[in-house]
């Protein structure tokens, strides 16, 4: 994929209920750039029933479309970056975790579309239920390890986000500022 002229991609990633969506919106506002919401959240809320492996591809397509739209908007406006509330790496991690496999195109595209910076959210904040979206608070540490191992395996640049909400925000801003300089 040609990234010439594309804005930098900062991806907020990690297990459920770690503040990714909240921080993505906050960072986008701070830097005056767009952000792509996590498509899986929209998909799960519309579906309102347990997911299966057959849902992985539509989630992947929806996530990719949302990212592309936000990146195109940032490019049109000449903005230096865009924030992504997860990306296809997350789709890949959850597919492997829940179903033991992942569609090949999602794995390929996750590698090819790798972000410029991953803000990896730690599980050191309280779990908050969120309708049909969140289902396994007892597995967050296991998922945290899977996210980290997957990102390391992809050679992705990782910056940990942990601590209180204000500390998470501070760490994220420092990491984004380093990326921009």
- Domain extents for the chain? 8-180
Tell me the two tokens of residue 103: 């569609």
User: Would you identify the CATH topology of the domain 8-180?
Assistant: Rossmann fold (3.40.50)
Report pLDDT for 3: 62
pLDDT digits (tens, 9 = 90+) for 42-66: 999 898 888 999 999 999 999 999 9
Cα–Cα separations (whole angstroms), residue 109 to 1, 47, 50, 154: 9, 25, 25, 12
Q: Residue range 11-31: average pLDDT? A: 94
Q: Cβ neighbours of residue 89 under 8 Å, at least 6 residues apart?
A: 11, 13, 110, 114, 115, 118, 147, 150, 151, 154, 156
Sort 140 into a burial class: Cβ within 10 Å, 0-12 / 13-18 / 19+. Answer: buried
pTM of the model: 0.92
Is 70 exceeded by the pLDDT of residue 130? no
DSSP reduced 3-state for 35: strand
């Amino acid at each position: 994929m040609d990234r010439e002229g594309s804005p930098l991609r900062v991806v907020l990633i990690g297990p459920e209920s770690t503040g990714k969506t909240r921080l993505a919106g906050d960072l986008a506002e701070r830097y005056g750039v767009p952000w792509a919401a996590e498509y899986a959240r929209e998909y799960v809320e519309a579906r309102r029933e347990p997911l299966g492996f057959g849902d992985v591809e539509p989630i992947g397509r929806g996530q990719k479309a949302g990212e592309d739209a936000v990146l195109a908007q940032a490019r049109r406006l000449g903005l230096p970056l865009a924030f992504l509330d997860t990306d296809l790496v997350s789709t890949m991690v959850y597919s492997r975790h829940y179903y033991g496999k992942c569609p090949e195109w999602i794995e390929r595209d996750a590698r090819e579309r790798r972000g410029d910076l991953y803000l990896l959210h730690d599980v050191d904040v309280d779990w908050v239920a969120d309708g049909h979206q969140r289902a396994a608070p007892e597995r967050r540490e296991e998922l945290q390890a899977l996210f980290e191992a997957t990102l390391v395996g992809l050679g992705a640049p990782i910056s940990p986000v942990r601590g209180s909400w204000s500390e998470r925000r501070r760490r994220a801003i420092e990491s984004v500022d380093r990326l921009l300089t």
